[in-house]
Structure 1
């Protein structure tokens, strides 16, 4: 079941993030690390009503931020749909439960929320070397839009979009 996250979920969320960071780093992606995503990021998402958890039998198996706000550089991206979109951020599935279609449930849920709000597009991004995330996006109907190097971190990000 997917539901809005609450402050009471924070301990489970941060435990899940710790597991995910270890796996991502072992696979060569440094997009997430000990300092990101931080508890403060999720607290802000909860306050905005944008953080969702997927739970089964009272256990949080995944989290996802579904936001009406893109990242600060999104105005520089040449989206095919230049109007508003819902942005998928900080999607994480407990590594013990990967491969069971849980991430797909978040994409479907985000699509429903967007359509209910009259929004016809989802977008997201990931680091150039996070090939697992890129494959997940493509499997869920997202199309590559462009790459852009972040001038602060010098990391290259790949941007994806899905028309609903």
Structure 2
């Protein structure tokens, strides 16, 4: 039976196998947002330590991973979000290429929205490289709205920021 659950430290070796396959697929599609330097097992370990790492598991093993964090990236306070209140940031979403096309990423977005409603968090946000058209389509398909693009430095890649305002539970 498939399920989303919180990840533990013992899950990290299998998570990294999934991430390695995702990096290869991304690079083959022309997106170099991830490589051998990011994301690392240490990034996922921090997420586990913060109780913010979730995985999608089937009987055969882990098929996807996603961080649902109460903290954004360092530049998030400079982004023109609808509000700068509390939000959940979706980071490091990785779906095993062998499991794509089954709606797993959509399930993570729905799960994050459910968590936000349960805890009164009014906003989901995320970002990706401008070149990562696959991620941008995924965000739009899950009713995220474009906020802005931004470059940290001249050499840095252009990032695209998206948000979804969460309606409070009734």
- The TM-score bracket by the shorter chain reads over 0.9
Q: 1:19 aligns with which of 18, 21, 37?
A: 21
Structure 2 unaligned spans of 5+: none
RMSD: 1.0
Alpha carbons of structure 1 residues 152 and 68: separation in structure 2 relative to 1, 3 Å: farther
Indicate the residue corresponding to 1:65 in structure 2.
67
Shift of 1:81: 2.2
- TM, length-normalised to structure 2: 0.94
Shift of 1:58: 4.9
SS of 1:89's equivalent in the other structure is strand
SS of 1:73's equivalent in the other structure is helix
SS of 2:126's equivalent in the other structure is strand
* Matched length: 164
CA deviations over 1:19-60 (Å, ceiling 9, x no partner): 000000111111000110001000000000000000011510
Q: Which runs of 4+ in 1 moved over 6 A?
A: none
Q: Distance in 2 between matches of 1:93 and 1:153?
A: 29
1:92 aligns with 2:104: no
- TM, length-normalised to structure 1: 0.97
SS of 2:107's equivalent in the other structure is helix
Indicate the residue corresponding to 2:46 in structure 1.
44
After TM superposition, the structure 1 = structure 2 runs for residues 30-41 of structure 1, keeping only pairs within 5 Å, are 30-41=32-43
